[in-house]
Amino acid sequence: MYTRAMYCRTLFTATVAISLAAGCHCPYRAESFSPGARCLTRTELYFGLTIPGHGGTVTDDQWQGFIDGTVTPLFPDGLTVINAAGQWREASGTIAREPTRIIILLHEPTPQIDAKIERIRGDYKQRFNQEAVMRVDDRQRVSF
């Protein structure tokens, strides 16, 4: 006998499996979008500008030095930077509100690119005493 609980558990498992599988592929046929379109990974990196333990923030010159010295050499073909306001629960439980910068990268999903992105995150965390740099990845159809 198939109980309601068994049905719900099966439905939940199927939904999770489909969701996980769907996240690994481009959600659209690239060629149906426009000539020359292709599927790329869009990575967003979120950088808090408050420097914990120092009472200050990353200055515009420090940020530009990070972009010029770390990010651009790894992604010379281009990137986008957005100014934002962020909120984060620190490990201590305190809610921190701070100015934030978001870097958007469009790239092929390769282990080499992944290593470059992790290098950017690690450099920023070390340089500016950060607990984390949030990373969000998604597949997108792109044409230039």
- Reported as a single tens digit per residue, the pLDDT across 25-82 is 665 554 555 777 889 999 999 999 999 887 799 999 999 999 999 999 999 999 999 9
- CA–CA dist 23, 136 (Å, integer): 12
The pLDDT value recorded for residue 37 is: 85
The pLDDT value recorded for residue 116 is: 98
CATH architecture of 28-142: 2-Layer Sandwich (3.30)
The pLDDT value recorded for residue 29 is: 55
When pLDDT is cut at 50, 70 and 90, the band that residue 5 belongs to is very low
Give me the residue spans of the domains in the chain: 28-142
| pLDDT tens-digit series, residues 90-116 | 788 989 889 999 999 999 999 999 999
Question: In the chain, which residue ranges form alpha helices assigned H by DSSP?
Answer: 4-22, 60-66, 72-74, 111-127
Residue 56 CB contacts under 8 Å (≥ 6 apart), including other chains: 50
- CA–CA dist 108, 93 (Å, integer): 36
Quick check: 7 pLDDT over 80? no
